[in-house]
Structure 1
Amino acid sequence: MVQPSSGARREADGPGAVPAELTRFIGRRREQSLAREALERSRLVTLIGLGGVGKTRLALELATRARDDFDEVRFARLADVLEPALLGYTLNTALGVREQSARWQLDTVVEFLGDRRVLLVLDNCEHLVEPIASLVDSLLRACPGLSVLTTSRQVLGLDGEAVVRVPPLSVASDGSASAESEAMSLFLDRASSAVPGLVVTPDEQEQIRELCRLLDGIPLAIELAAVRLRLLPLGELVTRTADRFHLLTQGSRTAPARHQSLRASIDGTYELCSPRERQLWSRLSVFSGGFSLEAAETVAGDATRDSILELVSGLVDKSIITRVMQAGEPRYAMLETIRQYGAERLDADELAELDRRHREWFAALAARADDGWSGPAQVEWLDRLRWDYPNLRVALQSCLADDPRRGMRLVASIENFWLASGFLSEARLWLDTLLAADASATTDRGRALRLSSWLAVLQNDHATVPQMLEEAGRIADEVGDGALATYVVQTWGLLAMFQGDLATSIDRLESAVAGFAELGHLTGQLHSLFELGIAYGFAGDIERAVHWQRRCQDLAGTVGESWWSSFSLWAYGIDKWRQGDIDGAESLERASLRAKRALDDRLGVGVCLEAMSWIAAANGESTRAGRLMGAAETVLRQVGMPIEASRSMLTYHQETQETLRLHDRRAEAAYAEGAAWDMDTAIGFALGEVSGNTEPYDVPLTRREMEVASLVAAGLTNRSIAAQLFISVRTVEKHVDHILGKLDLANRVQLAALIGRAADGP
């Protein structure tokens, strides 16, 4: 019988021992948890992911932590095993099996393992998937105590295999602590080793966040970048990531060749692909941010749809692209690093053809969104357009270079997307650039001029509007486009409303309502009904205002439309408020805000919060009113629509401000608190789902100051806080001084007591 050479548990430093790592293991709590659960229910677990994403390091961490659960844990590196015939001998070495026969025998390994509980880690299986799968299958069937943990860029495909995908490290959102970002934590840890005594300022923290985002959170890329700090300042390092494959070289001399550079790591994945998979990888690089299967088939394919599906499946299996569910359907995403690698392999002619297909596809998508807008699918269309926003940008850039008219058509087709997403300024920039590129008197130009005028009204850029509307009107007459002509009349009415000329506004908008009704243009009719009701409300004729808003509601209800219907609810709530019906007004505004949240309509959320601040002030709720008004100003500023754009809304705003000043000196602090909220918090507060600030002080602290204050309250010294937040001791001292000054406190003991009371609630 074959026996282990040195007892039941092998020496820790033997050939198959789990190697000790020289650097700290960072993050991966979720993946560790998933993998441990998988090992409990399955005897074969595969960690799958892109090259350089950290599969091996995660496997080593799991193996180290699993030692108490097995009689033995053994590790075999397979990256350098190029011949299937050598697999058995490599396995013998890892396990400590002494083969006596002239040729490797599976039975020898099976006899050696017996019934002992062994965890075998097989690292880097992707280049020999089939022979490794066959070997693992035979071992698992013959050895009941054996469990196998593999790392690979593609699955083994065996029955009972539990697959745990290893994604890039997380990169937290702007302004969050570095401790919340696995990618930033890794960079800071490795950078501190590369540059001893490294001190990072708050501004540099944001540069590191951007660097990690640009590198897609790929651990290998981050570690290579950290080493480059020996030669380059952080700002230049961020700039040079555009040429990442030349920048990120010269890894550790002891690392495997595939980890010596970012390009070498991805080269290994590229070599695993078939020629057709490589071609599709390169063609898919024309997309930005992701794509649907339908888009891939149309833009990147030149064969049957079934073959594209098969190739996409192969790229998913190799972790080149990932499958996600977005907007109710499966989509596919590709990391920017992988996209750039594929793009390098496209020649100029092929790239030009792909660009043409890409812009035509997304212009057609925008046209479909426009055609299907006035119906129950508005939320789905907005979700889809948001998901494809990077592609829409790429398509517009391509249109600007080669087809400006198509670009104008694309921008105009998704006008409500620009508003809902808060991209008013960007939409105007595209329109200005495209209009300058082609001055032909076409319907596309007329639509672009009308939309640019409408956006200019909302942004308080009224002086530019008349010239654009006059040209759009002339084009409508020349080409005989009744819908465009009616939209021009409607926009004249909106301009008059925002400038306070309500009689002219009502006259123009009534003409627009009638014109769209005659044309059977549902979207234009709903839009105009809402605006006409608003104009009557601002003019003080509440009865007619309510009449038109109800007509808008009724028409929207017949087709399941929610965009203009929710604006109409907002306007109807203002009418109720002006009538003194506070409860009715609040109810309507809440209904509108809930609809706006479902649509993720940032402009709509902003005006709802503003109207709700007027209602709260009228009800004597000065603190609530201040918070809502502060939140509204932040949202509207981010969208690009200042309250000053509408004379009537500005009047209500100023009247409410005056009321707050007269009734509550704490309103200014409440206003500042609301202005610091993100949109989700503001909506939750407005709807009563979350409470406001519960700290026993009025002056708001910044997010960083709150972090420092919490750590002070926990008893940490300035040096300990600096180490935890990766900032200098001097920076911590400044934060503490600012916090004590803001809160009018004498020392850290008082600060700790104050934070403790806040944590206990009001």
Structure 2
Amino acid sequence: MAAPTSEMVGRQTELDRLGELLRIGARMISVIGPGGIGKTRLAAEALRRARDTQHRPVYWARLAEWEVGRPATAHAAVLAPETTDVICPPTPDAVLNIFTSGEYPTERAVLVLDSCEHMLEAVGVMITELLAVAPDLTILATSREPIGWVDEYILMVPPLSPRRSLELLRQRAELVGVLIPDDPAQVAAAARICRRVDHNPLFIRLAAARLRHQPPVVVLRELTGDADDKRLRWTHGARVGAEPRHRGVYDVVAWSFALCSASEQLLLERLSVFATGYESDEEAPRTGIDLEAVIAVCGDERLPADDIEHLLERLTERSLLSVHLAPTTGSWYILESVHVFARQRLRRRDPDEADRLAAAHRRHFRDRVVGGQPLLRRRHDPSWMAWVRSAWNDIVLGIETGLADPGEARIGLETSTVLLAMWVPFVKGGSRALTRLTERALAATERDQDNRSLTDVAARLLCWSALWQGRVERADELLEDTVRTQLGRTVAEGWRASADGDLGLPAGVDWMCALGLLLIAQDPRAIAVAARARDKYAARGDETGAKHSGVMVAFCAALLGSREQALAYTQRHLITVGALGSAVPTAWAEIVRAIALAKHDGADAADVLATGVLSRYSGTNDVWTTSWAVGARILVAKSRLHDALTSEEASRAAAEIAFLIGGFQERSRAVGVVLDRVPLLASEIRDAADKARAVLGDRGYATAEQRTRQRGDRSTPWWCRSDPTGTQRAARTARVAETVAAEVVAAGPIHDGTAEVIHDGTVEPVGARYTDARWNQLSRAERDVAVFAAAGWPNSAIALERRSSIRTVDAQVASIRQKLMITSRTDIVGFVPAELGEQVRRESRRKPDRVGRRTRPR
């Protein structure tokens, strides 16, 4: 066996697995992966270690040079292992004689068949014969696809991790006389090179050779992934010691492509109209192509729909596609180097087909975005949002590729408008890219008069995005254009005074004006303008618009209104939304209510509401909701700092503020909000930070803020994680219902300037219709159990107290959590009606410290 020519980088997991298979005497092991991924190098290192520790004879046969169809190809290859002489004639009997004649040591021997993918049938026959006559033999094959033997162990070789990829690139660059310094810009460029070449060790070596001629930033520019990508034209990095199929990126992919059937080749070429994916577990979450999309875009009479799934599986077996398996679904993705190869072939073969497939791709994702949106279905659909996240790269690609043609740009504008309307960029974290593409699509279609309603909606949504990013001039420009279209140039000159009167503008324009008054001007008139938008939406039967405007009214009142307005508006909104039982709107109603309470002396109640949202949404992809929940927690901490009676309480509240501001800033950046350029947010954050610094000092504040970057879960504050049982929160919550009721009843009825919000002059406490909507879903037994759970009793103690089985109580608690739409039993206390508060406190005092023993007598 030839000695390795380079140091092994990474692969410890794969080496351990392969070493274990050799140790237990596995009969047939196949090391599988795409070309250049390091299969041969891995096998050589594992066998070197096994030979040193287990003293096993190794026979090595390189099959790459043997041609398919050559007589007795596989057998001739085996007759030339590196540790023996060539044996002739090359017949099956001669091959078997190697392992049966006793001429060579075969006890616990290992036969390596290197590079089998081009002769699988012949190798399969030979393996069957060898394993039948040599019971102590282990066969180790390296191949781009499995051999197919009945008891074959398959070891998949993944790409390197980003860290190991960068390590390898720097090593190989040094080998060719180039040093990549520790300069952050150059290291970042080198890391991006590794990602663009799929973290493939061979491609990394080729990139390192390219560094002899160009600096990293120039090499990175050559890896565009588009039609001008140069990787397939890179000169071969090595002419000696490298097989022809491994001398360049083109050679690696072409070798596998040539082994495909005509249908497989055609499908791979057509798949190049989809976006690429990334395979490393340390990269961002994978996106993928589902079967429905492949059939819709690629299927026709040449590729029947019934054949496509099998062809996808065959391409995956050949290591030309990758698959991502979720618990209930599977999706495919194509790595960038294969993507560049397949797209160039498609363009050369038939440019018109490439354009037709791109148009089909664009329409497919437009139809699924528009047709599946919850706005259209009038209900929240988590599956639609999950699909959008998984298909995000293809959705964005579909928008981008149509911008050169106004007709196709309209398709992209339809897609992006729905995503902006659904706040998808804020959930996904891709707001800047989507905003930029929407603006380009809007510019490409602005002369299309038949498209005016669509462009007006897009302009308003872009205005929304610009306001959150602090681009006030751009937001004003978009609103001016929209108003001028609606009112005409003369009337439009005075439209800004419409905060004091209705000019007849559409509801959407009023809504955007209210947002500007809220975020930029911090003008309390935003409440009346938002309410006017709500009423206009309701009058025309637009329930979704009316609901969104209702949230805006509550937000404006909470942040800019008087104490009376803030408490009454947010209470009414919480009651109305809570009665509907929809999870996301309820979370937002709780956030708005928490903001109002935190700003107006209701820190305990605000604490419960904001923390409850965080407990349900932390760890989810809904960054927008958790960001605002963290923002509400900042206001709670500021209120606690203001009310602190001791220096210890003040320090604790100030530390919370510093920690939470760090998390809020990071999450805001992720969703495209520029805090420093949004006056409302900047002033609130600055005020809280100044008060915390006054207590902690600059060094103490910086230390507390630094914890944000040290914690894995930045949405859940450290004080909450330090109390996993929720006892602190439960103790505070015992007074919540009474506090909230007293505050809100004292507020009395409120008018918003356009419509009466509280018609009968009364306001219900938070423990009324809001909690009743879910609490009343519980059975009598479940309510009794919920009281014990809210008091902190474990399930086993509840079972003993109620003389039922633990299994029954477990099922009851699970049912309670489901009906209340909560993820933790500690959140139950927030839904117990006010009239049961004394019972919860009583049961908490007699809570057992362990099953069968109570803290005090009954």
Query: Which TM class, normalised by the smaller chain length?
Result: 0.7 to 0.9
Tell me if the contact between 2:173 and 2:179 (Cα under 8 Å) persists in the aligned partners. Answer: no
Tell me if the contact between 1:498 and 1:645 (Cα under 8 Å) persists in the aligned partners. Answer: no
Structure 1, unaligned runs of 5 or more: 1-17, 172-180, 479-483, 692-762
Match of 1:24 in 2: 7
Tell me if the contact between 1:126 and 1:152 (Cα under 8 Å) persists in the aligned partners. Answer: yes
Separation in 1, partners of 2:153, 2:485: 63
Q: CA deviation at 1:575?
A: 1.7
Q: Does 1:426 align with 2:417?
A: no
The 1:266–1:424 alpha-carbon spacing in structure 2 relative to 1, beyond 3 Å, is closer
Cα offsets for 1:372-395 (capped at 9, x unmatched): 687776544333323322212221
Match of 1:737 in 2: none
Query: Identity rate of aligned residues, in percent?
Result: 24
Tell me if the contact between 2:165 and 2:201 (Cα under 8 Å) persists in the aligned partners. Answer: yes
Counterpart AA for 1:663: V
Match of 1:201 in 2: 183
Task: Give the alignment partner of residue 167 of structure 1, picking from 153, 158, 161.
Answer: 158
Q: CA deviation at 1:651?
A: 4.1
Q: Does 1:417 align with 2:424?
A: yes
Instruction: Find the residue that maps to 2:631 and give its secondary structure.
Output: helix
Q: Does 1:311 align with 2:311?
A: yes
Q: CA deviation at 1:592?
A: 2.5
Match of 2:851 in 1: none
Q: Does 1:575 align with 2:573?
A: no
Counterpart AA for 1:220: L
Which is worse superposed, 504-513 or 304-313? 504-513
Cα offsets for 1:89-110 (capped at 9, x unmatched): 3223327488577844054244
Counterpart AA for 2:661: M
Q: Does 1:299 align with 2:297?
A: yes
Q: Does 1:622 align with 2:654?
A: yes
Match of 2:66 in 1: 81
Match of 1:384 in 2: 387
1:654-693 maps to which residues of 2 (within 5 A)?
654-666=686-698, 669-670=701-702, 673-674=705-706, 677=709, 680-686=712-718, 688-689=720-721
Q: TM-score, normalised by structure 2?
A: 0.71
Q: Does 1:36 align with 2:57?
A: no
Tell me if the contact between 2:178 and 2:212 (Cα under 8 Å) persists in the aligned partners. Answer: no
Tell me if the contact between 1:326 and 1:384 (Cα under 8 Å) persists in the aligned partners. Answer: no
1:205-216 maps to which residues of 2 (within 5 A)?
205-216=187-198
Task: Give the alignment partner of residue 447 of structure 1, picking from 449, 454, 457.
Answer: 457
Tell me if the contact between 2:619 and 2:713 (Cα under 8 Å) persists in the aligned partners. Answer: no
Tell me if the contact between 1:379 and 1:598 (Cα under 8 Å) persists in the aligned partners. Answer: no
Cα offsets for 1:255-289 (capped at 9, x unmatched): 11111222111111011101111111111011113
Which is worse superposed, 157-166 or 662-671? 662-671
Separation in 2, partners of 1:311, 1:469: 51
Match of 1:715 in 2: none
Q: Does 1:268 align with 2:252?
A: no
Instruction: Find the residue that maps to 2:610 and give its secondary structure.
Output: helix
Tell me if the contact between 1:187 and 1:222 (Cα under 8 Å) persists in the aligned partners. Answer: yes
Separation in 2, partners of 1:265, 1:524: 54
Task: Give the alignment partner of residue 60 of structure 1, picking from 38, 44, 60.
Answer: 44
RCO higher in 1 or 2 (8 Å CA, sep ≥ 6)? 1
Instruction: Find the residue that maps to 2:369 and give its secondary structure.
Output: helix
Separation in 1, partners of 2:327, 2:425: 18
The 1:557–1:136 alpha-carbon spacing in structure 2 relative to 1, beyond 3 Å, is farther
Match of 1:184 in 2: 166
Cα offsets for 1:208-236 (capped at 9, x unmatched): 11111111111111112212333333332
Which is worse superposed, 68-77 or 264-273? 68-77
Match of 1:354 in 2: 357
Separation in 2, partners of 1:557, 1:139: 71
Counterpart AA for 1:227: A
Separation in 2, partners of 1:604, 1:188: 42
Separation in 1, partners of 2:478, 2:660: 36
Tell me if the contact between 2:112 and 2:140 (Cα under 8 Å) persists in the aligned partners. Answer: yes
Tell me if the contact between 2:32 and 2:154 (Cα under 8 Å) persists in the aligned partners. Answer: yes
Q: CA RMSD in A?
A: 3.2
Separation in 1, partners of 2:636, 2:473: 32
Q: Does 1:407 align with 2:390?
A: no
Match of 1:749 in 2: none
Cα offsets for 1:137-190 (capped at 9, x unmatched): 22223322111111111111121111111122121xxxxxxxxx1111111222
Tell me if the contact between 1:408 and 1:448 (Cα under 8 Å) persists in the aligned partners. Answer: yes
Cα offsets for 1:551-596 (capped at 9, x unmatched): 6556656776444433322222112212323232222222233444
The 1:392–1:659 alpha-carbon spacing in structure 2 relative to 1, beyond 3 Å, is same
Q: TM-score, normalised by structure 1?
A: 0.80
Match of 2:526 in 1: 505
Cα offsets for 1:662-710 (capped at 9, x unmatched): 322146643784497289442244573389xxxxxxxxxxxxxxxxxxx
Match of 1:256 in 2: 243
Q: Does 1:118 align with 2:146?
A: no
Tell me if the contact between 2:57 and 2:106 (Cα under 8 Å) persists in the aligned partners. Answer: no
Cα offsets for 1:11-70 (capped at 9, x unmatched): xxxxxxx21012111111222233334443742111111111111111111111222336
The 1:537–1:145 alpha-carbon spacing in structure 2 relative to 1, beyond 3 Å, is same
The 1:359–1:141 alpha-carbon spacing in structure 2 relative to 1, beyond 3 Å, is same
Tell me if the contact between 1:328 and 1:380 (Cα under 8 Å) persists in the aligned partners. Answer: no
Which is worse superposed, 517-526 or 325-334? 517-526
Separation in 1, partners of 2:366, 2:134: 59
Separation in 2, partners of 1:690, 1:264: 56
Match of 2:469 in 1: 459
Q: Does 1:394 align with 2:393?
A: no
Separation in 1, partners of 2:403, 2:707: 37
Instruction: Find the residue that maps to 1:400 and give its secondary structure.
Output: coil
Tell me if the contact between 1:49 and 1:152 (Cα under 8 Å) persists in the aligned partners. Answer: yes
Cα offsets for 1:345-389 (capped at 9, x unmatched): 113111110110011011112213424687776544333323322
Q: Does 1:640 align with 2:647?
A: no
Task: Give the alignment partner of residue 202 of structure 2, picking from 213, 220, 226.
Answer: 220
Q: CA deviation at 1:343?
A: 0.4
Instruction: Find the residue that maps to 2:403 and give its secondary structure.
Output: helix
Tell me if the contact between 1:477 and 1:485 (Cα under 8 Å) persists in the aligned partners. Answer: no
Separation in 1, partners of 2:132, 2:577: 64
Separation in 2, partners of 1:34, 1:477: 72
Counterpart AA for 1:25: M
Tell me if the contact between 2:72 and 2:90 (Cα under 8 Å) persists in the aligned partners. Answer: no
Match of 1:138 in 2: 129
1:87-98 maps to which residues of 2 (within 5 A)?
87-94=74-81, 96=84
The 1:594–1:362 alpha-carbon spacing in structure 2 relative to 1, beyond 3 Å, is farther
Tell me if the contact between 1:207 and 1:234 (Cα under 8 Å) persists in the aligned partners. Answer: yes
Separation in 1, partners of 2:691, 2:179: 55
Which is worse superposed, 488-497 or 554-563? 554-563
Tell me if the contact between 2:79 and 2:90 (Cα under 8 Å) persists in the aligned partners. Answer: no
